[in-house]
Structure 1
Amino acid sequence: MISHSIKQIQRIADVVCLLVGGEIVEVLNSNHLSEANHPMARRFLELSS
């Protein structure tokens, strides 16, 4: 599943792959999205909350 909705992702997914430029930059448990390290992933998460 592909989604830009953090709430939907946390509700449905167990494991999340964060993509930047079509490449996987983070693989996290959906309950640990706030632990993302990649700068673009962090920015997306900040803007989505």
Structure 2
Amino acid sequence: MATTQSRTLAKIMLFPSVTLLLAWMIVPLCMTLYFSFLDYNLLMPG
């Protein structure tokens, strides 16, 4: 059985990787939504 201290330490150690994975998923999603509402040609930007 894990103690409260070891559970807290485990959560603290998982936080950076979970944050990075969430950012890895959310940033492309936000960029997709941003470009979908623009009249922007990715083949000929400008």
TM-score grouping bracket, smaller chain normalisation: under 0.3
| Pair member with larger Rg | 2
TM-score (norm 2): 0.16
Query: Which of structures 1 and 2 has the larger relative contact order (alpha carbons within 8 angstroms, sep 6+)?
Result: 1
More strand by share: 1
- Give the TM-score, by structure 1 length: 0.16
Q: Higher helix share goes to which structure?
A: 2
